[in-house]
């Protein structure tokens, strides 16, 4: 019969036996600090916002309307030109006056003749370029009814008959004519800017100046320079329509380049205008 070992005898075995308590395994994923998730999340959101803002800015830029653009490119040119006037010349003017107000001008016949001679040179040049048309779009502006070269020739002949000596072209006119010739061969957008400002300025402020000068030195005689065959407003509108049609084929960059030329146009024409008081 098998005997049962007393518990007291088995005690040493229990004492020798070692039990190892296993540590609870750590979850490595959970051991990553939560703050790092927060930083990553914030970075992702920040980048997302940057993408959205960038896309919005690009969309706003592409949809940006330039002053006058809704009415056509001629209105954009008019807006830029008006900004270059002084307050006493136009309500939209922003430039500080550098000359005396028109009412205080003291023109001379000799100076006025210089102005007319140089003006004729500029119109001769513009009309010759349009006739030659180094760029096809120039041909759109032939025979508009705004041409001034022939009527200026008549006015200068009238002065000659009155006994006045007709001077040759002076530096302002020669310089401007040369610039227009060079520009017309390589930069149609800039040339169109000068074309627009020369003809349209004469039909507005130019007529007012002519009237004031005539009152002071010509016994109020109205020169042919300030007369047009037909309805002037309609002639101007016809040219506006053609200018708008031509500009429809330009990129926004080309349109902006045309607008940027406006200040040069004012500089050249202003130098010729000041001949009246020389």
Residue of 262, 196, 197, 202 lying closest to 226 (CA atoms): 202
CA-to-CA distance for 166 and 113, rounded, in angstroms?
A: 7
Beta carbons of 244 and 74 less than 8 angstroms apart: yes
DSSP string for 226-264: G--SS-HHHHHHHHHHHHHHHHTTS-HHHHHHHHHTHHH
Does 110 score more than 70 pLDDT? yes
What is residue 248's predicted lDDT score, i.e. its pLDDT? 97
What is residue 42's predicted lDDT score, i.e. its pLDDT? 54
Residue of 122, 143, 129 lying closest to 238 (CA atoms): 143
Write the pLDDT tens digit of every residue in 10-47: 444 334 444 344 444 444 433 444 444 445 545 444 44
Percent pLDDT > 90 in the chain is 66
Does 271 score more than 80 pLDDT? yes
What is residue 100's predicted lDDT score, i.e. its pLDDT? 63
The model's pTM? 0.75
Does 206 score more than 70 pLDDT? yes
Percent pLDDT > 70 in the chain is 70
Mean pLDDT for the chain overall: 82
Chain CA centroid to CA 266, Å = 14
Does 6 score more than 60 pLDDT? no
What's the whole-number mean pLDDT along residues 200-219? 95
What is residue 85's predicted lDDT score, i.e. its pLDDT? 77
């Amino acid at each position: 019969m098998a005997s049962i070992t007393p518990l007291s005898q088995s005690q040493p075995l229990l004492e020798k036996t070692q039990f190892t308590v296993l540590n609870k395994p750590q979850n490595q994923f959970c051991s990553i600090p939560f703050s790092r998730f927060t930083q990553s999340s914030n970075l992702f959101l920040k980048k997302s916002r940057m993408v959205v803002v960038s896309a919005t800015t690009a969309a706003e830029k592409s949809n940006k309307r330039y002053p006058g653009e809704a009415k056509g490119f001629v209105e954009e040119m008019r807006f830029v030109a008006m900004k270059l006037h002084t307050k006493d010349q136009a309500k939209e003017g922003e430039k500080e006056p550098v000359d005396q107000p028109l009412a205080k001008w003291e023109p001379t016949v000799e100076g006025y003749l210089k102005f007319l001679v140089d003006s004729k040179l500029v119109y001769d040049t513009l009309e010759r370029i349009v006739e030659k048309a180094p760029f096809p779009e120039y041909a759109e502006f032939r025979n508009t009814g705004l041409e001034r070269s022939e009527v200026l020739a008549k006015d200068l002949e009238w002065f000659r008959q009155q006994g006045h000596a007709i001077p040759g072209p002076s530096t302002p006119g020669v310089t401007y004519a040369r610039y227009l010739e060079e520009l017309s061969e390589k930069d149609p957008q800039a040339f169109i800017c000068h074309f627009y400002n020369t003809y349209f300025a004469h039909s507005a402020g130019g007529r007012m100046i002519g009237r004031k000068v005539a009152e002071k030195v010509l016994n109020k005689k109205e020169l042919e320079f300030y007369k047009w065959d037909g309805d002037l407003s309609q002639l101007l509108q016809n040219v506006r329509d053609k200018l708008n049609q031509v500009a429809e084929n330009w990129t926004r960059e080309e349109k902006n380049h045309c607008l940027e030329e406006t200040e040069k146009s004012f500089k050249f024409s202003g130098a010729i205008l000041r001949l009246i008081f020389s």
